[in-house]
Structure 1
Amino acid sequence: MRVLVWQWGRRGAGPRMAAELAAALRALPGHTVFLSLSNRAEILAASDAPACALPVATYAGAAGYAWRLLLAPVSIPWLVRRLRALAPDVAICAMPGPLDLPMALALRRLRIPMVVTVHDAELHPGDGLPLQMALQRALIRRAAALVALTGHVAARLRQQPAARGRPLLEARLPPLVFQASRPPPPLSHDGPMRLLCFGRLLPYKGLDLFEAALRGLEAAGLGRGRLEVRVVGEGPHTPTLDALARLPGVQVENRWVPEDEVGRLVAWADTVVLPYREASQSGVAAIALAAGRWVVATRVGGLVEQFRGEAMALLCEPDAGSIGACLARLLDDPPALPAMAPDPLGLWLEMARSLSRQIELLLPGVTHERPRAQDAARSDPAPV
């Protein structure tokens, strides 16, 4: 089966997820896999940059996005030519983005079925871009099938008119590796336990709950000198961030974390804290598990499914008292480290094998030979 995997985000977990999925599918017998990323994707500047068969020029900022939309009449024929040269049997969108509709239209013109991986069925409070959900629904309506990474997301998709009648394929987000080698285990250093709250600093991430939990630990005499805390990510400046920064032993870094720093940041931590009020699933959790970090997370959305069977995860309720009690328990009696580290590569292969099998059962025609164009796809970025 010939598969195209695409994700045109410039930064964040999306491009890495696409690269990992493409690599895992490529490792399966009988699969030829092509990867399409934004030519601005941070992962392409990394020392271990993946092979990208179809780099696509995207945009930076609202003005750039508007310009790319104006270029859509030019970009669709360009994509048709490139796709005809690659001749995929099926295309997989690893994570929807604002510029995916031209790709969907080009695929439709060539009658290539499209499978869309939906990470969020609805926007989280304070999250997303204008028209993001409208664009996602338009993409879903053109899909031959959808992939949901948790049952939580699948259940919400089934309630949406755009997704009704679309087959829903099962998958689970494997650990995301951001380090060349696995870091030393937690508490290998001398000093207090290190907590990391990492990701976009938005209201639904429960930073206010985390601040209240830390304040409670401090009042009980459990925080000072026993915890070192970093809150790192990008988001609007809020009173909650100010309150966190005033707590002893807490450092707030409101900034974007580039691709090549993520591995070092997570390796610094002993525990990654996800005090979320709601969640579909978590890319940060996938990074933490790959690095062998303890995770303290709330029982919301798809997190319960994502952490099922994970010995390194401690779950609590989405309130300050429960989060604080979970952190206190971690301080006094941290879970034993598993005898064997998880095998991210093996889990990605398992996911790819399952997804490929489901696609072949749903779309048996994709395994048939299609006429191949004689010319190879050019490597210059598409005008999308």
Structure 2
Amino acid sequence: MQNLPYDNGEIRRLTPSVAAKPLCVLLVDPSLYTAPYDAALTEGLVSAGVTPTWATRPIRAGDRQEIPAEYVDDFFYKRSDDGGESRWRNVRKGLEHFQGLVSLVSKVFQHKAKVVHIQWVVLPLFDALAIGVIRLFRPVVLTVHDTIPFNGERMSHLKRMGFHLPLRLANHLISHTVTGRQHLISAGIPAEKISVIAHGPLKLHHPVAPLAADHGGDVAVPDGRPYNMVLFGEVKPYKGLDLLVEAVGLLAPDVQSRVRITVAGRPRMDLTGIHKRIAELGIDDCFRFDLRRLSEQDMADLFSQADCFLFPYRQIDASGVYFLVKSLGRWLIASKVGVFAEQMDGTDDGQLVPSGDVVALAEALHHAAVNRPQARPMDSKDSWESIGTQTRGLYEQLLPDNKTVQVLR
């Protein structure tokens, strides 16, 4: 393979040939884990002359059709993915996933795909088998959204092996951050098969109201309105809700009275211990829980009321929530990891704190609640058009006849 995007550790920007011919690519997100990202990437790829087809599950009742329907082949989980719960649902879904992977091989030829681009690995050992088969006749690209397995959560040796096997079998990997690329190199992935292509901006389809003009002072607003902080997204251990609870517990009572934290999103962990600790610290009035999958209108309403967004994460590469809220002009408090460390300046846009440092997190909460700093709306440095161009450039480099590829240093 020639003209790799990395040479001796130097990052190179990828572009397709000047007169780009149509290029058919099959992209794979069986469970639609990141439908808004998929839709935005589709926009960028189409602008770069790529004809994408997404292999996904069917749209559930009440879901928005994020990816334009003409670019979707929803053959995964036709029977088991009804959104309901049952004892055997996971077993049925696992069997259907395997059936979907078998179909995926034939879909490569049906859609005349020159490249297969997998966004998410669902069942690593099954997916690794499919990657091994597909790469016999088509190059396989894998985007590694989380370069540290399960974002640092404990796992068995079998799970860890399963996480890395698809990465080793794919022809090329995409990481959204330079830090993520280094994680993959540290895990034994050859540097020359890893490209960094940024995550682009995301947006809601409903308007978010601008901030009220009560920020920038050094005391609580005259009407005594609490300072509204939001921890949004699926609630998982790596997102540091337990750290946030401890940090709020360190605040002085008069500051605690100013703080209102909304934790919104579907729980993916047992929150019994969290609620118990909140009660022990006597900070029940500081927290409100909205533990469900929010509609876009609900999200817009929640974001309109937010003064600050919280990201006390233990580990992350790229955060979809961050790319959704960064342009809203709200103060951000985030751990100095992943995309936060790479994109935030920690002055005009918010405050960065060391990951896992409860005292530093408490100090950041105190500063925000008392001073109510005004953040500068952050425009994304990477447009989806640019991301689509870079991604197409990578696809072209993996093709057997890549003599027309132009690589800009």
**AA of the residue aligned to 1:350:** S
Query: What are the Cα deviations for residues 338-365 of structure 1, in whole angstroms up to 9, with x where unaligned?
Result: 3x66269x62222222222233245463
Other structure's SS at 1:3 match? strand
Q: Which of 63, 67, 75 does residue 45 from structure 1 map onto?
A: 63
**2:238 matches 1:204:** yes
| Partner of residue 83 from structure 1, selected from 108, 130, 134 | 108
> In 1, Cα distance between the equivalents of 2:158 and 2:330?
36
- Asked whether 1:271 is paired with 2:298, we answer no
**Secondary structure of the equivalent of 1:314?**
strand
Deviations along 1:38-68, whole A, 9 cap, x unmatched?
Answer: 22567x8216553242113334578444335
Q: How does 1:1-384 map to 2 (within 5 A)?
A: 1-11=23-33, 14-28=34-48, 30-40=49-59, 45-46=63-64, 50-51=68-69, 52-58=71-77, 59=80, 63-70=88-95, 74-98=99-123, 100-101=127-128, 103-104=130-131, 107-108=134-135, 111-121=137-147, 122-126=149-153, 133-161=160-188, 163-164=189-190, 167-177=193-203, 179-187=204-212, 191-219=225-253, 221-224=254-257, 226-233=258-265, 234=267, 235-244=269-278, 246-253=282-289, 255-258=291-294, 260=296, 261-308=298-345, 311-317=348-354, 318-338=356-376, 342=379, 347-363=383-399, 365=401
Q: Secondary structure at the match of 2:255?
A: coil
Distance in 2 between the 1:192 and 1:73 partners?
A: 50
Give the residue type in structure 1 aligned to 2:146: D
Cα distance, 1:72 vs. partner?
6.7
SS of 1:215 mapped into structure 2: helix
In 2, the alpha carbon distance for the partners of 1:68 and 1:278 equals 29
How much does 1:315 deviate?
0.7
Change (3 A) 1:210 1:350: same
CA distance in 1, matches of 2:316, 2:372: 25
Tell me the CA shift for residue 277 of structure 1.
Answer: 2.5
Identity rate, percent: 21
Q: Deviations over 1:145-184 (max 9, x none)?
A: 00111222211211224x336610112222322x214412
List alignment gaps of at least 5 residues for structure 2.
Answer: 1-22, 215-222, 405-409
Match of 1:45, SS state, is coil
Residue 175 and residue 41 in structure 1: after superposition, are their counterparts in 2 closer, same or farther (change >3 A)? Answer: farther
Q: Provide the TM-score with structure 1 as the length reference.
A: 0.79
Secondary structure at 1:140's aligned position in 2? helix
5+ residue gaps, structure 1, are 369-384
CA distance in 2, matches of 1:309, 1:356: 33
| 99-108 vs 33-42, greater mean Cα deviation | 99-108
Matched residues in 1 for 2:50 and 2:185: separation?
A: 31
- The one-letter code sitting in structure 2 at the alignment partner of 1:315 is L
Partner SS for 1:276 = coil
Deviation readout 1:191-226 (Å, 9 max, x if unpaired): 32210112333333222321222222243x2231x2
CA–CA distance in 1 between the matches of 2:314 and 2:366?
A: 20
Cα pair 2:346 2:352 within 8 Å, conserved: no
Amino acid at match of 2:366: A
Q: Which amino acid aligns with 1:140?
A: L
- Inter-CA distance 337–280: structure 2 relative to 1 (3 Å threshold): closer
Normalising by the residue count of structure 2, what TM-score does the alignment of the two structures yield? 0.74
Contact 2:231/2:264 (8 A) holds in 1: yes
Judge conservation of contact 2:26–2:53 (CA < 8 Å) in 1. yes
Q: Aligned equivalents of 1:217 and 1:97: distance in 2?
A: 41
The alpha carbon displacement at 1:297 in A equals 0.5
**Contact preservation (8 Å) 1:75, 1:102:** no
Q: Which moved more, 1:165-174 or 1:148-157?
A: 165-174
Q: SS at 2:72's partner residue?
A: coil
What's the offset of the Cα at 1:135? 3.5
1:278-333 deviation digits (Å, cap 9, x = unpaired) = 33332222222144432101213453014358942321223222112212222344
- How many residues align structurally? 357
Quickly say closer, same or farther: Cα 1:323–1:75, change in 2 above 3 A: closer
Aligned-CA RMSD value: 3.4
- Provide closer, same or farther for how the CA distance between residues 292 and 350 of structure 1 changes in structure 2, counting only shifts above 3 A: farther
Secondary structure at 1:4's aligned position in 2? strand
Distance (whole Å) between structure 2 residues aligned to residue 73 and residue 210 of structure 1: 40
Contact 2:329/2:374, CA 8 A, preserved across alignment: no
Once the two structures are TM-superposed, the CA of residue 236 in structure 1 deviates from its matched residue by 0.7
**What secondary structure, in the 3-state scheme, does the structure 2 residue paired with 1:38 have?**
coil
